Structure 1
Amino acid sequence: MTPSNLILASRSPRRVELLKLIASQFETIPSQFDESTITITNPNELVKALGYYKAKTVFDEHPQATVIGCDTIVSLDGEVFGIPKDKQHAVDMLRKLSGKTHLVSTGVCILSKNQVDQFVVETKVTFYKLSEEEIEVYCNTKEPFDKAGAYGIQEKGSLFVESIEGDYFSVMGFPVAKVNQVLKQYKW
């Protein structure tokens, strides 16, 4: 397989940036899969399914390629935190995460005509106790509105993080080291 046969089924600039650590040549084709059709409530099963269907939707149009699909969610006490719908939703999420340890799950599917690899990487993230002012100021930026759990660990959201147990890059939405290990099976 040549690197030009690799497709990232995502519009995320963070995933693009991280995949460049593995492959110098690949295409980016955002998946048009309707995530609302999946009603799974278990966080790991949900991100696993979403990663698969995002990859499958693009793979169906490019069956000679190897396609990577990903999805990331935040969960706390069984409640799933996706991307906030609006500012109030972001504020509510950050209030709930304040001072607590939550789980970030990133599901990945690597799909080719001969092979399917799926996995979930879990990372525990603990937030400092956040003031209402910190939450308000942060939610007045653009950062919370395209990220699961309403924060970006690689941006100003990093100021909320007291500790992390697991894969930092998975919290960014792309567990680059694990993806690299799996892609080795594809002769990369």
Structure 2
Amino acid sequence: MMPTFILLASASPRRHEILDQLGIAHGILRVPPPEGEDEPLLPGEAAADYVRRTARDKARQALAWLAAGGRPTDIPATWPEDWAQAPILCADTTVILDGDVLGKPADAADAAAMLRRLSGRTHQVHTAVVLASQGRLLEACQISQVGFQDLSDADIQQYCASGEPFGKAGSYAIQGRAAAFITHLSGSHSGVMGLPAHETAQLLRQVATHAR
């Protein structure tokens, strides 16, 4: 059994779609990002630790924003009166290669450079999920191994011209045109998209069990 309603602290349409796929009613919290660099890597912080810490930070920011008067958008048809007590779901997805975090590209040149690094190699995608409920932060992290075919300069140029790499960790979207680049996937397709369905459902069941 899972909660009947949650709040998703993410504007990602992919995470919204995955919750819809799971049949989980939810409102969306469009929490303004903090000032300064977007999700900076701390000095000496391992890439695998970074993704977990960033997801926790997002949860704390969402809680603070709600406490300061923030309100959800994209309200579902059945809106519970106690929505402010609903669990808050946050996630962060990071592409890791050679211990380096490959974040969202700054421009086309940055996207092309990332894709050249991914070409012909296998990288990791870490997606951390945090559920804030009743003063607790529950968390899980899904790790997938993703293999890329060798990409020609023409492949990279055409893909960057499509606009798809922008706003995507690692400069690609597995649910889009980049699916043609994937030679193998070991892990979770939904996790690479940005919200691992299994781990998310497990956290939601933990919350529902604790609430009974």
TM-score under structure 2 normalisation?
0.82
Q: In 2, are the aligned partners of 1:94 and 1:150 still within 8 Å (CA)?
A: yes
2:120 paired with 1:116: no
Paired position in structure 1 for 2:177: 156
Note the 1:16-55 alignment, pairs <5 A. Answer: 16-34=16-34, 35-39=38-42, 41-55=45-59
- Give the share of equivalent positions with the same residue, in percent: 34
Q: In 2, are the aligned partners of 1:74 and 1:102 still within 8 Å (CA)?
A: yes
Structure 2 unaligned segments of length 5 or more: list them: 68-83
Q: In 2, are the aligned partners of 1:67 and 1:112 still within 8 Å (CA)?
A: yes
CA–CA distance in 1 between the matches of 2:7 and 2:126?
22
CA–CA distance in 2 between the matches of 1:23 and 1:117?
21
CA–CA distance in 1 between the matches of 2:181 and 2:160?
13
The Cα RMSD (Å) is 1.8
Deviation at 1:22, TM superposition (A): 2.9
Q: In 2, are the aligned partners of 1:43 and 1:105 still within 8 Å (CA)?
A: no
Deviation at 1:38, TM superposition (A): 4.8
User: Which region of structure 1 is more displaced relative to structure 2, 36-45 or 147-156?
Assistant: 36-45
**Aligned pairs, number:** 187
Note the 1:1-188 alignment, pairs <5 A. Answer: 3-4=4-5, 6-34=6-34, 35-39=38-42, 41-60=45-64, 61=66, 64-187=85-208
Structure possessing the higher radius of gyration over alpha carbons: 2
Deviations 1:24-48 (A, max 9, x none): 4211112334344552631221111
CA–CA distance in 1 between the matches of 2:206 and 2:40?
31
CA–CA distance in 1 between the matches of 2:163 and 2:31?
23
SS of match in other structure, 1:146: coil
CA–CA distance in 2 between the matches of 1:37 and 1:140?
27
Instruction: Note closer, same or farther for the CA distance 1:2–1:94 as it changes in structure 2 (3 Å cut).
Output: closer
Deviation at 1:114, TM superposition (A): 3.9
